[in-house]
Amino acid sequence: MNGRELYPDAEQRRRIMDFIMAAGQTLLENGAEVFRVEQTMEIMARSFHLREFHVYVLTNGIFASAGTAEISEVRNVPTRTTHLGRVAAVNQLSRQIAEGSVTTIDEAESRLVQAQSIPFPKGRVQLLAGLSGAFCFALIFGGTLQAALVAAVAGCAANAYLLFCGRHPIGGGFRTISTASLITILCILGCHLLHTEASHAIIGTLMILTPGIAFTMGIRDFVQGDYLSGTIRMIDALLIAASIAIGTGLVLGAYAAWTGVVAA
């Protein structure tokens, strides 16, 4: 389509619809809010003259129709990660489409592919993030410098394990439970060697696993009046929190049963 036609034909409407759905899916699976996904898709549809466009977004699916249901499409979004770089790129593309600096569907599709191709941070950056995050959290919760150093090592190891899990088909629940168990084991061993309390190191390192984004966005969905999406996100956050508790509790229980001492 060479420019924006005021009345695009059936083939062009289908192409525009596919583009808008792909943009919405990119936003949703990379951590965008539900209302932001709906708003962005509506702006794109209006800018490309896709009339009578209606969209309903959940945390794991998109339902849309256009032209008195002449075109309808449903997309399942089973996986959700957090990549704000991709979200920002798609939002920027939406603004440029609305402003008129991106005028053709060809250019819009090309820009969307570029946004989808933005890579995640390199492995060493994620390892450094786990190390520094766990170190700082351990200090914030009142731990000693030795406990913070142990937490840093455990946080780095935890992120390395998560990177490994990301390359293999490992379920999210088992991944969280096993990561929490690994963190607890490393913190107990490290703090035992350095003769310091393990509790602050364990809590500080577990903070890098806590579902803060899911919990916050669940509350935000409730505030926006989207109770279904908010409930889904809150359940997701509670399941992650329960998995963390199970993984930590298993190790602490086994340690107490083996040594007769409660790790502290």
- Listed by start position, the domains of the chain span 10-116, 123-259
- What pLDDT score was predicted for residue 2? 46
Kindly report the length of the chain.
264
Distance CA 93, CA 139 (A): 41
Question: Which residues are CB-contacts of 110 (< 8 A; sequence separation ≥ 6)?
Answer: none
For residue 264, is pLDDT > 60? no
Instruction: Retrieve residue 137's tokens.
Output: 């959290």
pLDDT in tens, 81-94: 889 999 999 999 99
Q: What is the largest CA-CA distance in the chain?
A: 77
Q: What is the reported pLDDT for 1?
A: 45
Which pLDDT score, from 0 to 100, does residue 13 have?
A: 87
Structure-derived torsion over alpha carbons of residues 16, 17, 20, 24, reported in degrees to the nearest 10? -170
Q: Which pTM does this prediction carry?
A: 0.82
Of the listed ranges 4-13, 66-75, 136-145, 223-232, the least confidently predicted one is: 4-13
Query: 194 and 150 in contact (C-beta within 8 Å)?
Result: yes
Q: What is the DSSP letter of 101?
A: S
Asked whether residue 134 carries a pLDDT value surpassing 90, the answer given is yes
The per-residue pLDDT for range 153-181, each reduced to its tens digit, is 999 999 999 999 888 877 878 999 999 99
Dump pLDDT digits (tens) for 7-41.
677 788 899 999 999 999 999 999 888 889 999 99
pLDDT in tens, 137-157: 999 999 999 999 999 999 999
For 138, what's the count of Cα atoms within 13 Å in the CB-facing half-sphere? 31
Distance of CA 124 to the CA centre of its chain: 19
Burial of 73 (0-12, 13-18, 19+ CB in 10 A): middle
pLDDT at 43 over 90: yes
